[in-house]
Every structure is written in structure tokens, then in C-alpha cells.
Structure 1
Amino acid sequence: MHDHASDGLSHPHVFLGAQHAANERRTLAVVVLTVAMMIGEIIGGAVFGSMALIADGLHMSTHAAALGVSAFAYYYARRHAEDPRFAFGTGKVGDLAAFASGLALAIVALFIGYESLERFFAPEPIHYTEALTLAALGLAVNIASAWLLRDSHDHSHGHDHGVDHVHDHSHAAHDHADDHHDHAPADQDLNLRSAYVHVIADAAVSILVVAALLLARAFGWVWLDPAIGLVGMVVILSWSYGLLRAAGAVLLDMTPDEKLKETIRSRLETNGDFVSDLHLWRVGPGHRAAMATIVSANPRPAEEHKAQLADLPGLSHVTVEVLKCPHAD
């Protein structure tokens, strides 16, 4: 038998993160701040004849574009949250944006590495005062952006967010003895994380640049500037890899929580029942879906099996199929 919604033939599939609206506003604010900085540097460079200002402004445009993708992903997911064309809602739109942002971050890192290698073999004169001013200004903007994107409530716990179906959404507290699941990586809003990584990466590079410029000016170590650029490339590539790996795992429906999967199996395999097929995947920040096939000598309604899982946190959509054991008397 197949499961049916308790209120009729259909039910909503809205699996947005608990802080979706707040994260959308925060990301949009960072986009505005970054674009303002970008425009100011380009105009300032044109007015004062500084190619360094113009170049940094153009560099800021790459971050503005990536952050703009994150902001648009929030808008799109919210706008189409109840669109029936999305089988399991739009909760994974942010993960798609995070994957694209990870790729953009890798490209930026490789570009920094390329420029650094060029300067090793063809050193350019460094205008220390102007360069330090730019790095300090960029660092200030990145610190403000990082504060706006700080991860305060990112690790949602999969509670019901406007959808009131007991058989699909867990409402119980998280203090059950057998449900000690780690919510940090699986429930994280990767779209917010990707925006945060962009500004932190830029801030890290700014800090390294300031240190390199101060040392180069003090001791004449001109080679330190491109060397720090290569270090920055390696650091940013490692962050990019982590983001791509996390977002890719969600997009490919990899099991987000092995402990939760085993808890589901142990709860369903009672009274001689056997779970012949079990799938667990993430459908949005703080939301997981489960699909199970149970083989039983004494089949019971699917609703009874789902009731065994009702208090599991973060389990937002459950489908149960019950089959009669072919060898049962």
C-alpha cells in the first residue's frame, strides 16, 4: 500500500530553511554593499587616474556577481516554493547556487595564482601607500559583509515551517535518547555558506596582502607580494573544494546522515518486519526525505510505520510502502 496525505490526495512540499527570509535579506544587503564599493572604486579610479582602483573595482565585480547569484537563488526558491513542477520543492535551489559559487571561487583563486606567477618572473613596481589603502578598505567592507552573513541560526533543526501535516513533519523536541544526530553539516544553508566563503576569502587575501606589503616596504622583499598571492590561491582553492563537495553531495542526493538512516531502519524493523529498501536524502536546509519499503508477514497500514518515525528531527517527508512477505503463510 502507498502512503496518502492525512488531509486528502496531496500535500505541500515546501522545504525552505528556517532562516530563508532572513538569509535572503542579509545576502541582498551584502550585494548592495559590494556593488557600492565596486562602483566607488571604479569612479574613484577614473577621477584620480588610478588603474589600481579600477582594477580592484573590476575584481569586486566578480564577487558581486557571485553574491548576486546567491541572492537570486533565495528569491527564486521563495517565489517558486509551491510550484508543482518541482517534485520536492525548491529547497535545493540554494545548493545549486552554492555549487556555482564554488566554481566561481575556484576560478578567482586560479586567476590570483596566475597573476602571482607573472609577477614572480616580471616584477612590477608597487605603490605601497595606495595598495595598502585599497587592501585596508577592502578588508573593512569584507568584515562588514562577514558580520551580516554570520552563521547565527544556520543550523536549523527541521521543524515545521508553515506546513502542518503530522505524518510528514516532525514537531517533537530533540531530546530523545536514540536520536543524537549531528545537524551541523547536513542542515547547513549552503547558499549562505557560499556567500560567506566569498567574503571571508576576500578578507583573508586582504589580510595577507597588507602583511606582505608592510614587510616588502620595510625590508625590500618585493618577492613576498606574489608569494602571498600563491598562498592565497591554495587557501581559497581548499575552501572552494569544500563548498563544491558539500553542495555536490546534496545535488547528487547522497545520504546526509548515516546515523539517522540506521535509526529509521531499526525503528521500522520490528515485529519481524524487514526493510528491503531505504533511501534518505536532503530536500532543503534542515529537511530530509525518506522512502522505505517494508516486507512483512503481517502487513500493517503505512501510517502506523510512519508514526514510528514522527518524532525524528529533520525528517520532513516520509513515504512508506508495505509489501506482504511472499513466503508468509
Structure 2
Amino acid sequence: MTAFENPAVRLQAPHDHQFLGADHHRNERRVWLVIALTASMMLVEIVAGTVYGSMALVADGWHMSTHAGAMLITALAYGYARRNSNNPRFAFGTGKLGDLAGFASAVVLALIALLIGYESFIRLVNPIPISFGQAIAVAVVGLLVNLVSAWLLKDDHAHHYGHGHQHDHGHQYTHGGHEQGQDNNLRAAYVHVLADALTSVLAIVALLLGRGYGWLWADPLMGVVGAVVIARWSWGLIQDAGSVLLDAPQEAGEVRQEIEEALATTGDAICDLHVWQVGPGRLAAIVSIISANPRGINDYKELLAPIHELVHVTVEVAQATDGGTD
């Protein structure tokens, strides 16, 4: 069995653990703006529906309130992460708080999809009269509000609403010279708005078919279709945010391979390697190396420096010596 001896650890200057996304402040402001826009539209629809006796307006207003509540999770998470970014209680900063909020929002979105699907199924079984003109007007106004909100929340890189494993390094975009990965917190708010926009589009199509051909079943059928699509989006978000929370993001495997390739040039052996995400596009790593002729710790870190996703690296080096065998 090979024996190991631990060399002295070289101390370095203190460093912070601020691993928030590059656009954290911008995203936080935009989410609050969208909440204000959505809440205002919600109040207008509820008040107008109550005054004019329109259940369609009241129902759509309360529907928008669920999305406003979900986006409030997003906004509060941004604020908490920012205020506690230097809190020593968080060992690796608060960069993953957005993934926790994104996971919670995805669960809320899944529940909304179930409610839409349930209500649509009830309407298929028991059709009710529809005031087509009024309902179309409500859907059009709601669509416009959601399109503006989606534009405000659109990130600088492609979003993945389904869940696939073709996330290569194109999954990240360059911002200010740094690699910035997907912000699942912003993505959750964006998907909520997009889901609302989808239901508005499907409702408009169904209502036009109903008014033109008398197809009352078209409205609840479109509701079922929308529920299925929204459920698929929420499942993809649950998987992506959940993988980060469980320290198993797709990007970690790619960075792990890059670390192994970078250190292979030394001829030393890696006996233990851990890679996990500490913020959007920001990864940390612990590397344990066995070497007959150990280099300095900083020499190993310099070899890993070109891997831009790595923002916190711990290197442990053990010297291999001849030892007895069991």
C-alpha cells in the first residue's frame, strides 16, 4: 500500500465568496418591474370584473396573481442573496439561492399546470356559455402585458424549457470577460410569464374558433394543451435547478474533464476530485493530487487558471512514497 505524507499548506490572502450572477442587480430590478406591471393588471381586472359583473375578468385577475406571487419568490431571493453575499454563515456564498428559488417557482408552476388541466377537463365534460367578445379582449390585453414582461425578463442567452442533456459550453455566455451560466432564478420568472402568454395565445385561438364555428369544446381543449406544455417546462426547470442544489449540474462534468486534461500534463495522479456549482456559471473544485515529485500548490492552480468557470479552487498535494502492502 502506498503511503502519503501531507506537505505544509501554503496560505494565501483572504478572498471573498461573492458568486452571484454577473447581471444579478439588473435581473433583480427587472423582476420587481414585472411584478409591479403584473400586479397592476391584476388589480385592474379584478376591480373591473367586480364592477361590471364579469367573471372572466375576475378569474384572469386571480390567475395573474399566482404568477405575481411566484415572481415575488424570485425577487426576494435576489435581494436576500445580495444582502448576504458576504455573510460568513454561507460557506460558499449565496450564489445557489437563486436555484433554490427557481426550484420553488417551478413547483408552483407545476401546480398551476395541474389546476389549468383540471379546470379544462371539467369544462370539457360540462361546457358553459362563453362571452366571446369580452373574453377575447381580456386575453389580448393579458397577452400584451405578458409580452412586455417577457421582453424585460429575457436573458442574454438561450433558455431551455424542455430538459435535454445537450448542454455544452455554448450553454454559457461571455459577460465582461467572465463566463456566465444560466440563472435559474430569472429563468423561473421568465417561464411563468411565458406560460401566461401561452395560455393567452391558446385562449385567443380557441375563442375565435368558438365564436366562428360554435366549438365550445375548443376553449377547454386548448387549456389541456397549455397545461401539458407548462408542465413540461416546469419539469425541465425542476430538473435543472434540482441538479444544482444536489451538486450535480451538467457543467460540472465538463469542467471535471477539463481539470483532468489540464493536470494530465504533470504526470501526477488525481486521487480525489469534486466539482460543484456555487453560482450561475461559477464552479468550485477540490482537487487531491498524488505525486512522487510534488509541485507547489500555486503551480497546479496556474494550470487550472484557463478554466474560466472555476472561481474557487482548493488543491491538496500528497507525496507518494514506497510503503508496505497489506
Same fold (TM over 0.5): yes
Q: Identify the residue that residue 93 of structure 2 maps to in structure 1.
A: 89
Higher mean alpha-carbon deviation, 107-116 vs 53-62, is at 53-62
Distance 2:9 2:281 in 1: 23
For the 8 Å contact 1:292–1:320, the answer to whether it is kept is yes
For residues 99 and 260 of structure 1, the distance between their equivalents in structure 2, rounded to whole angstroms, comes to: 23
CA positional deviation for 1:255: 4.3
Is 1:305 aligned to residue 300 of structure 2? Answer: yes
Quick one: distance in 1 between partners of 2:61 and 2:125?
25
C-alpha distance in 2 between matches for 1:95 and 1:216 = 41
Q: Which runs of 5+ in 1 are unaligned?
A: 156-179
TM-score by length of 1: 0.88
Q: Alignment partner for residue 239 of structure 1, among 219, 233, 241? A: 233
- Which residue does 2:170 correspond to in 1? 182
Match of 1:57 in 2: 61
After superposition, the CA RMSD in angstroms is: 1.9
The one-character-per-residue Cα deviations of 1:190-248 (angstroms, maximum 9, x if unpaired) are 11111000001110110011000001110111111111111001100010011001100
Contact 1:3–1:320, Cα closer than 8 Å, also in 2 = no
Matching residue's letter, 1:76: Y
- Please identify, of 140-149 and 258-267, the stretch whose mean Cα deviation from structure 2 is larger: 258-267
Which stretch shows the higher mean deviation, 249-258 or 102-111? 249-258
After superposition, the Cα gap between the structure-2 partners of 1:46 and 1:2, relative to the gap in structure 1 and judged at 3 Å, is farther
What secondary structure sits across from 2:170 in the alignment? Answer: coil
Q: Please state how far the C-alpha of 1:28 moved relative to its aligned partner.
A: 0.7
Post-superposition shift, 1:120? 1.1
2:213 aligned to which of 214, 219, 239: 219
Give 2:12's aligned residue. 6
What's the counterpart of residue 204 of structure 1? Answer: 198
TM-score in terms of structure 2 length:
0.89
Contiguous gaps of at least 5 residues in structure 2: 1-6, 160-167, 174-179
Are the equivalent residues in 2 in contact too, given 1:15–1:283 (CA < 8 A)? Answer: yes
Identity %: 53
Q: Distance between the aligned counterparts of 2:321 and 2:71, measured in 1? A: 55
Map 1:12-91 → 2, pairs under 5 A: 12-91=16-95
| Counterpart in the other structure of 1:111 | 115
Equivalent pairs, count: 303
Aligned match of 1:277: 272
In structure 1, the residue matched to 2:186 is 192
Q: Which amino acid aligns with 1:181?
A: H
**Post-superposition CA distance 1:9-61 (Å, at most 9, x none):** x3210000000000000111001101111111111112212222111111111
Contact 2:276 2:285 in 1 (8 A): yes
- Partner Cα separation in structure 2 for residue 238 and residue 325 of structure 1: 51
Aligned partner of 1:291: which letter? I
Q: Whole-Å Cα distance in 1 between the matches of residues 139 and 8 of structure 2? A: 60
Is 2:244 the partner of 1:250? yes
* Contact in 2 for aligned 1:63/1:198 (Cα 8 Å): yes
Question: Is the CA contact 1:128–1:217 (under 8 Å) kept in the aligned structure 2?
Answer: yes
Q: Which structure 1 residue ranges, 4+ long, deviate > 6 Å from structure 2?
A: none
Assess if the C-alpha contact under 8 Å between 1:212 and 1:228 holds in 2.
yes
Contact 2:268–2:290 (8 Å) recurs in 1: yes
User: Contact conserved, 2:277 with 2:283, CA < 8 A, in 1?
Assistant: yes
Flag the 1:154–1:86 CA change in 2: closer, same or farther, 3 A: farther
What amino acid is aligned across from residue 284 of structure 2 in structure 1?
Answer: A
Residues 257-296 of structure 1: matches in 2 within 5 Å?
Answer: 257=251, 258-296=253-291
Change (3 A) 1:254 1:319: same
Give, in whole Å, the separation in 2 of the partners of 1:301 and 1:264: 17
Cα distance between partner residues in 2 of 1:82 and 1:118: 51
